[in-house]
A and B are shown apart, each in its own frame.
Chain A
Amino acid sequence: MEADTQAHVAFFLTGRRTDAEPEPVEGLGLRPALLAGYRDLAALRYDFPLVLTARGGELERVQSLSAIFDEALTRVCTGAGAADAAALRHLGLRLEREIRGLVVGGFRGLLSAAWSAAAAAMESKGEAGPADRLRRLRAAVTVEGELADCDEALPARLVRHAWAAVQSRKAASFQRRLERLVLRLGEILEADFERSEAGRSAARLKASVGGGFAGAFDFDSLSRTLATARPRVAFSESRRRRISDLLATLRSQRFFSAPKSGGADSGVAEKPFEFQFASCGEALASLRGRMPALVALARAIVVAELEIEGLYSEARHDGLFRGFGDNGLDPQDLAAFPDYLVCVNASCLHGDEHAQLLEVLSSGLPIKVLLQIDDILEESPYGEGNLTTGTRSRQVASMAMGLNEVYVLQAPASHLYRFREPILRGLRLAGPALFSVYSGASGATSDLPPYVLAAAALESRAFPAFAYDPSAGPNWASRFTLEANPRLELDWPVQPLVYEDEQHQRVTVDLAFTLVDFVACDRRYARHLARVPRAKWNSHLIPVDEALSRERKGLPDSVPCLWMVDERDVLQRVLADERLLREARRCREMWHSLQELAGVHNSHAEALLARERRAWEARAQQELPAAVPIVTVASAPAPASSSARGVAPAAEANAGPERSPDESYIETQRCSTCNECTNINNKMFAYDSNKQAYIADLDAGTYAQLVEAAESCQVAAIHPGKPRNPREPDLDALQKRAAAFR
């Protein structure tokens, strides 16, 4: 082994440099070569910044700046001349870049304010062009809202924004219902009052007519006359009290704010409850404390609906509603009320808070939890050199999926815009939900912006995106999805790297982006990396994914090496030590387990397939000597004939009983209820529960009546059969008449 390679292998095995080579990477400002193009985010068009709007549907409340500009440019360029449209596009894209630059530089505020600032900056640089174009472009942008970049605050801002949109829709629906209930219950009480003595008093009648015609009526006489018309059904005192109680409960509820148009009486006495919390413990305590009020309100709503419909029966319903909510409320009942939102940071998730998170998620209650993780490469608390590489977050998300009924979404902040729909789905769902989000804002541990770091976490499988939706179906195939991850069938996604070599030739290599690439972005792990000078590059340096796929026996003859670029975008090759490779293997194993859940390389399915293949081959081997084609095994014609046989008995079963021509009967199903037979003899003929005739008692009448009924029947459904009494007069003639109906 050459001396250079020996030094590389020694570093790989021990993580220590014995000599000047390989060189340390601290201070070189290295980043994975595949991320070289993402140095200036302001110059790139991508999902961020986002615009959080207060209008439109739930999905439209989070929009991408690029999408807003695309839409505005389409609108403003339609019908414009080619040169004008090109100038507008150029101006629009320039302005968008300026706004993005402002946001990356720390601007926070409304889109309109950023627009003004960006336009002013462009004007000062002389890039704004004619004012008319800028004005037309501004008029085409109809969206207004807060700008949000991919930073530490984004996960909580976005989830809170989406949560508020879902809750406002729920609140609007609830308020409409509440308003209607209060109004209708009030009307019932008012109607009761109008029928009472007080309601019919002369003074009341006079007040209701008003001052203009007060002298035209004799209200005393009117009152006396009305007093004689007492209502037939008295309004019980218990009902009056019940309705008053219902009104009080509905009006004093604090789960939603008061309806805007509810009038003076329907106002809420106290401030509405708060439903956003910073810890699971607080949320649980609030929920438990409010549960009696919630049960009372849910009961009041159901009882009020029954009262309004006039269906409430004290005998039937009092007992039922006395125990209402004793066994907790159904998730469907709870779904009408606000959900609780807890935004908690993983760094605070210790001890009690962790236990309470478990309690929240396993409770089945409508609590939505945002677990924000800012650092997935945190140092292990158990000693120097140990990495956790996202195991804490994985623990929570995997545990939540294991609970079966929790909606789980894991995604990096960079992909939250694309996960708007799954986020809304989780928020709309009745029951608990967990949103595990990696923000990428790990502070001073990396030079990369949070967006790139978050996206790199997804790319490297360090923080895979997945969703588990318990309402989507009965099995994992329908509930679990891993689709958002790149190349999910591979261990590591592979991307092409294009660079220029020493001869200024364009070279393309396919590079896998592994966990080691992601860890290399974090300066805390710089000691596990070492730069190999250009002169020492040799064939013993192999890509990390290749090193991971090799099984090492004895002394390694090659070492894993990353492709990185320095601050001047010069390509560098960097050794990784065994410790990082070990973490990459752990990460790969975790990825494999996720793949299996998603049905990719599923070990059960593959084992079954292998077994069937072996069995098939064995059968084929046995059948070969007999020269029977293998395909005949599967081409049995039995099913068609067996299904045909299956239908026949059913058809026969529907055919009905065979009737003897001597039997007296009615084809009841054909009876058209014309009353002819029942008018002849309503003891012999009667109607069944569907008001169709049958022979109730043959002995209740004569054969002559039976024949007469058969002749009268409009649909000839009566069959007289043979006479029962041989001594009945004119039997021969009657039988001749009856023969027509046999």
Chain B
Amino acid sequence: MTTNATECLLQLCDEQFQLEDYQSGVPRWCSGCGDNAILAAVQRLCRDEALRPEKTVFVSGIGCSSRFPHYMKTYGFHGIHGRALPVAEGVKMARPDLTVFVNTGDGDCCSIGAAHWIHAIRYNMNLTVFLHDNQIYGLTKKQASPTSPIGTKSNTTPRGSYLEALNPVSVTLGVQNVSFVAQAVDWIPEVLFDIVKAAYHHRGLSFVRIVQRCPEWLPKSFDPWLHDPNRVQILAHANGLHPSAALSRTYKNQLEHDPSNIHRARELAGDSVNIPVGILYRNPEVPCYEDLIRPDLLRTPELTRSVLDSEMDKYTIWP
């Protein structure tokens, strides 16, 4: 597609952003926390895509991950527990011109916010959702979360948790209207960034589960995968990730997976031995809720007045 001369000139005048333009304060996360890797990847995305800070919003719920908006020099909404998604949907509905990201944790999204999570996937609004999954409630000092592996000893499960962990990727892939599901791990920054970027570019709800280490409360939890790169399965495809040669040297366990194949994506998501990393599913054809309900009408004062009048008329008692 050609770009006209005026547009090119305006692009020349566009501001160039640096990473510092998106950095706000020093993160209070513990050293070694995987949240730092997610923050770095997202800040890099904002810079590379030249997202204007005043046009970008990060919405979160409650938990370690949900401190994320504090560290972004953009608009942010540190919401209430489990309600990051409905708040983000409201923001998007009122201001479709904004780029809206959601940061939520395994407790925030998969426990108290599970109902909102399911329906947000079904509504498929144009949001980019990062599920920071460290498999534990970290902010409140170690309680088992829905994604804690069976047998996890915590303050609420001193004898080890009794239930099988919930798999957020499988659940998401099972909901109607799902349009983008990816899985990343915080310790492979190159792939994390590629997935974050692909999620941002997808129009619809992009759900990215980021497997994230908690060095404070579950320091050994991911050691088997961290120390054995072959247990991390990179999903490559012409329409998905393109791992670099350097990455391929370390992560040799690679699988060609077409992100348009939802049945294969569901099979891969259920793998309990390896962690599949990459774009599991992508369907750009799923309509966004805001496109379906928004009429092709400009909200002029006349329109607002006529709608209000018609509403008021419903309660008018005619003589």
Contact = CB atoms under 8 A, between A and B. Distances in A.
Interface of A: 176, 179-180, 183, 261, 263, 298, 302, 306, 310, 313, 316-317, 320, 324, 330-333, 651, 654-656, 669-676, 679, 689-692, 712, 714-715
B298 A332 contact: no
Nearest to A328: B5
B6 A333 contact: yes
Interface string B23-35: 0000100011110
A715 B226 contact: yes
Contact of B40 (A651, A692, A712): A692
B31, B44, B296 — most chain A CB neighbours (10 Å): B31
Given A310-B54, A672-B187, A690-B19, 19 more contacts: A176-B296, A180-B298, A183-B300, A261-B302, A263-B301, A317-B13, A320-B9, A320-B10, A324-B6, A330-B4, A330-B5, A332-B2, A333-B6, A654-B245, A670-B188, A672-B37, A674-B37, A674-B215, A715-B226
A655 B248 CA distance: 10
A316 B13 contact: yes
Contact of A302 (B6, B215, B250): B6
A517 B188 CA distance: 78
Given A179-B298, A320-B13, A691-B43, A673 B189 contact: yes
Contacts of A261: 298, 300, 302-303
B5 A674 contact: no
B272 interface: no
A2 to B, nearest CB: 71
A306 B10 contact: yes
Contacts of B92: none
Interface in B16-63: 18-19, 27, 31-34, 36-37, 39-40, 43-44, 54
B108 interface: no
A534 B226 CA distance: 101
Given A672-B189, A689-B19, A691-B43, A714 B298 contact: no
A224 to B, nearest CB: 29
Interface in B168-209: 186-190
Contacts of B4: 330-333
Interface in B236-257: 244-247, 249-250
Interface of B: 2-6, 9-10, 13, 18-19, 27, 31-34, 36-37, 39-40, 43-44, 54, 186-190, 213, 215, 226, 244-247, 249-250, 296, 298, 300-303
Contact of A672 (B2, B13, B43, B186): B186
Contact of A676 (B9, B32, B301, B303): B32
Contact of B189 (A333, A669, A676): A669
Contacts of B6: 298, 302, 324, 330, 333
B189 A671 contact: yes
Nearest to B3: A332
Contact of A674 (B31, B188, B247): B31
A712 B6 CA distance: 52
A651 B248 CA distance: 11
A302 B4 CA distance: 12
Nearest to B250: A670
Nearest to A184: B298
Contact of A655 (B2, B39, B226, B249): B249
Contacts of B244: 654
Contacts of B37: 672-674
Contacts of B31: 674-676, 679, 712
B56 to A, nearest CB: 13
A69 B232 CA distance: 64
Given A263-B302, A332-B4, A674-B34, A651 B189 contact: no
A179 to B, nearest CB: 5
Contacts of B189: 669-673, 692
Given A261-B300, A675-B36, A651 B54 contact: no
B148 to A, nearest CB: 20
A175 to B, nearest CB: 10
